[in-house]
Amino acid sequence: MNGVDKTGSRMQDVWMKNEVVIGLVMVAVLTVIMLTLGLSLVLTILIDAAVFTIVTLSLNLEVGHTGISQFGRVLAVIAGAFVVGAVPGRVLAFLNGLPYGVSYADDAVNYKVVPAISDLLASSLPLSVGFLLFSFLLAAVAGAAVGWLTSRPAIRLKEAYLGISLLAFGDFFMWVGHNWEPLVGGTTAVFVPDPFRVVWGSRFQVVVIVAVIMAFLVYLYLEKLTRSPFGRTLHMVRDCDVAAAVCGKDIVRIRTQSLMIGSALAAVGGALYVIYAGTCTAIGFTRLTWTFWPWAYMMLGGIGSNRGVVLGVLMLTVARTLIITYRSTLFGFLLTWGIDPMWLEYTLMGLVIMLVVLFMPHGLVPAKVESILPAGRVRKAAQEQGFGATVG
């Protein structure tokens, strides 16, 4: 009976965990949204959540697991977006005798060249897949390079000084793209060749599937990474870099590696976003969208908790979508007082974040201290040493 009681207790503990309860609630909410507002809105929520899951998980690696004051997440996202908006299309244009130089980003030329490239991609599935993988590879390399670049001040600066520096870097590169037309069109957007045109009839659904799979793979990769010896080293640096240095750890190298990995992943998220949108507009990559919101998602889910981040992104994405959908219907009466409900998104989202922080200050799924070895191996080793009676 004791074995049955323990099994039942363990099952009850599993089902009462925050992540399981919240996950089931989110599935129920998405089902209701699909039945009432349609499948397309659910797919929009899923692709937005997938892109921001990748970006926020990368932020969580640097902040939650390494302890870096990363307030310039937008910088790596911009790197991935700009590289995909500027390079892969030019490569195909060059190979096919189309304008590929400075004129490629001119709106009078770009709107003719990119559709021709997209038609070429639509004629070959292997070419489309190769173009997509090449774009993600370029984005990851650019992101890693940006991560290395930002690690230089991270060697000497800490906390607020580092955060402000990274924030400034992000705005700087956004304005460079906005004012330097040959990069990504300057004040006008450049079109991005569409590798999903090969499945044009089901493009939206395929993009959603690819985005969700990529987010899931990033989650699995970071779960494996943060549970590895390298992940435990990151936690040591986060908790006390002095102690880590005393133990012989190279703090500069560890922070550099964390920034390069996190920036590479964030850049892939930026690349995925512009490929999905079909355009790359420099002014669209603001610190509000690509730094503040990932921070909000991470704090809501639980800093240092990868599972919490995934749930936090999904929960806030659903909340934002519902607020945007119903703000005019529910708060249209405010127009009589001169208040436009359009601006309620940020007010209501701030309220949601405040409520979660007040009642769940450590996030939906707080990060837990986990033993290096599984509990079963610890018990087995203790029994072999004759301590079985004292280890539960």
How many angstroms separate the CA atoms of 48 and 318, rounded? 10
Give the pLDDT of residue 2.
Answer: 47
**Phi/psi at 191 (5° precision):** -75, 150
Cβ(104)–Cβ(113) under 8 Å?
A: yes
Task: Supply angle C-alpha 183, 187, 192, rounded to 5.
Answer: 55
Give the pLDDT of residue 120.
Answer: 94
Averaged over successive runs of 10 residues, the pLDDT of the chain (392 residues) comes to 46 55 88 91 95 97 91 93 95 93 90 93 94 96 93 71 82 90 89 93 94 97 93 91 87 91 96 95 90 91 91 91 83 77 79 80 78 66 65 50
Helix (H, G, I), strand (E, B) or coil at 7: helix
State the residue for tokens 């925050």: 18
Neighbouring C-beta atoms of residue 338, cutoff 10 Å? 6
Helix (H, G, I), strand (E, B) or coil at 191: strand
Give the pLDDT of residue 70.
Answer: 86
* Domain-wise residue ranges, the chain: 1-37, 44-302
How many angstroms separate the CA atoms of 254 and 129, rounded? 34
